[in-house]
Amino acid sequence: MELNRRQFFKVVAGLSALALTTKEARSYPGKFATLIDLTKCDGCKDEPLPLCVKACREVNKHRFPEPKKPIQPYWPRKTYEDWSDKRDRIDTLTPYNWIFIQKVGVDGHNLYIPRRCMHCDSPPCVKGCPFGALTQQPEGNTVIDHNLCFGGAKCRDVCPWQIPQRQAGVGIYLKLMPKLAGGGVMYKCDLCDERIKRGEEPACVVACRDRLKDRAVYTFGDREKIYELAKKRAAEESLFIYGDVQNGGTSTIYLSPVSFEKIDAKLREMKARFSMPVKVANRYAEEINPWGKAIVGAGVLGLAAGIAGAIFSKKNKEEV
């Protein structure tokens, strides 16, 4: 559906207002956290694919993108990101795979590291999105609204782990400016937002426990208790912690028998697509100045109006 001029301005004005109102920079620990114990994960070596990955794909498949083809390049660029022919990839994050198991051998340990969104306490992705498409939930998770996302990938640029993944050929941009096409829409783990709001655990957590019972890799629950448990086990078993201070704190805590400096060094040596930097400063440590946000919102409106003006003026000329 292509929008007419009036509808276009209405949507853009709505988005700008949204950017100003919903992007109130919140920064707080949420209710829940996940402990990921790397001493227990074996990558589901006896299964055709890791059960946590399988469960995630199963519960989220109805939200996976179905791009309209042929996909247009992201103007003025000449390329676009299309994972739709690689939906089976489970060895990395994609718009169709929101968790993967990263294998790395360090100091004689073969580690299998479940990688997904860390759900930061002060998430730069939420604060950086100019359209207010990302929100931080009281449960501690961050969620992308696929109906609002323009696929500009600012969230990925500001994420210390580059977690959100883009699929072109989908999204609101196509409805607004189909001839220019958009970047697409960003996708990532939302900590099973609907499930946890219903009082259920994330699907990956349940799948792992069904297989490993009391040796399960994930422990999901009350954030304070998860942090306490992680610190206690780290002290008693000489384990290393990751995620408690990185990026100002997160809702995802890893425990490892090997230091994360070494893990990260190895991942970088392997030229892995996703690393685990230990020193991660939050680029939005200072709250965004509300006037700054107003300028962003006004900028969005102005930019969109400019683009729209150019498009409609060209269209009108062509129609004369």
- Applying CB under 6 A, the residues found at the interface with ligand SF4 are 41-44, 50-52, 55-56, 59-60, 98-99, 101, 112, 114, 116-120, 123-125, 142, 155, 159, 161, 163-164, 188-192, 202-204, 207-208, 211-212, 217
Query: Which residue number, 223 or 301, has a Cβ lying nearer to ligand SF4?
Result: 223
Query: Which residue number, 118 or 177, has a Cβ lying nearer to ligand SF4?
Result: 118
CA distance 137 to 214: 29
Q: Is 147 exposed, middle or buried (0-12, 13-18, 19+ CB in 10 A)?
A: exposed
Token pair of 133, please?
């498409």
CA distance 199 to 49: 27
Tell me which residue has tokens 């946000």.
Answer: 293
Rounded to the nearest whole angstrom, what is the least distance from the CB of residue 45 to ligand SF4 in the complex? 9
Query: Which residue number, 74 or 161, has a Cβ lying nearer to ligand SF4?
Result: 161
Helix (H) or strand (E) holding 229: helix 223-237
Query: Which residue number, 98 or 173, has a Cβ lying nearer to ligand SF4?
Result: 98
CA distance 17 to 3: 19
Name 200's Cβ contacts closer than 8 Å, sequence gap at least 6: 192, 206
Rounded to the nearest whole angstrom, what is the least distance from the CB of residue 234 to ligand SF4 in the complex? 19
Rounded to the nearest whole angstrom, what is the least distance from the CB of residue 150 to ligand SF4 in the complex? 16
Query: Which residue number, 8 or 161, has a Cβ lying nearer to ligand SF4?
Result: 161
Rounded to the nearest whole angstrom, what is the least distance from the CB of residue 261 to ligand SF4 in the complex? 19
Rounded to the nearest whole angstrom, what is the least distance from the CB of residue 24 to ligand SF4 in the complex? 17
Query: Which residue number, 51 or 168, has a Cβ lying nearer to ligand SF4?
Result: 51
CA distance 298 to 292: 10
CA distance 100 to 77: 29
Rounded to the nearest whole angstrom, what is the least distance from the CB of residue 198 to ligand SF4 in the complex? 13
Please provide the DSSP assignment of 162-217 as one string: ---EEESS-SHHHHH-TTT----EEE----SHHHHHTTPPPHHHHHHHHHHGGG-S
